[in-house]
């Protein structure tokens, strides 16, 4: 299934390049998506039959071991910080809300985004 997903990502990338995954290849001549697809295909061929599973050959294992030196994947820091009202309610802390005033969050100053509502 992951192979099919890579095909869909590749097609979306042709239509809209921002859909492609973000990683850095150490070689400009190497197509990283095709390398990953080729390695996944070799691995899939080893275990596609449930009754007859074969061990991957040593060249495939060596290529997979070299993969971290060929592709650099950036850290994923996309989770938002829990500093909103909902996180306070989930922590069962008392939150007093008043219509027309910005919520007073501990450790935060009132932001300018609420100025339009206060006036």
What are the extents of the domains in the chain? 2-72, 85-118
Q: What is the model's pLDDT at position 80?
A: 61
CA distance 28 to 31: 8
Residue 26's contacts (CB-CB under 8 Å, 6 or more residues apart) are 69, 70, 71, 72
**CA separation for the pair 119, 117 (Å, rounded):** 6
pLDDT in tens, 32-61: 888 888 898 988 888 777 777 788 888 988
* pLDDT the model gives residue 109: 47
Out of 61-70, 97-106, 110-119, pick the least confident. Answer: 110-119
pLDDT of 110: 46
Q: Kindly tell me the burial class for residue 35, based on how many C-beta atoms sit within 10 Å of its own C-beta (0-12, 13-18, 19 or more).
A: middle
Q: pLDDT per residue over 51-87, tens digit each?
A: 777 888 889 889 889 888 888 777 766 666 666 666 6
On whether the CB atoms of residues 104 and 76 are closer than 8 A, the answer is no
pLDDT in tens, 18-27: 878 877 777 7
């Amino acid at each position: 299934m992951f192979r099919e997903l890579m095909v869909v990502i590749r097609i979306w990338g042709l239509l809209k390049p921002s859909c492609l995954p973000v990683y850095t290849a150490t070689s400009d001549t190497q197509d990283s998506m095709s390398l990953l697809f080729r390695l996944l295909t070799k691995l899939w061929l080893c275990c596609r039959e449930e009754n007859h599973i074969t061990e991957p050959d040593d060249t495939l294992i060596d290529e997979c071991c070299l993969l971290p030196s060929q592709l650099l994947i950036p850290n994923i820091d996309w989770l938002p910080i829990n500093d909103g009202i909902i996180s306070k309610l989930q922590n069962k802390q008392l939150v007093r809300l008043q219509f027309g005033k910005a919520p007073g969050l501990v450790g935060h100053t009132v932001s300018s985004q609420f100025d339009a509502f206060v006036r």
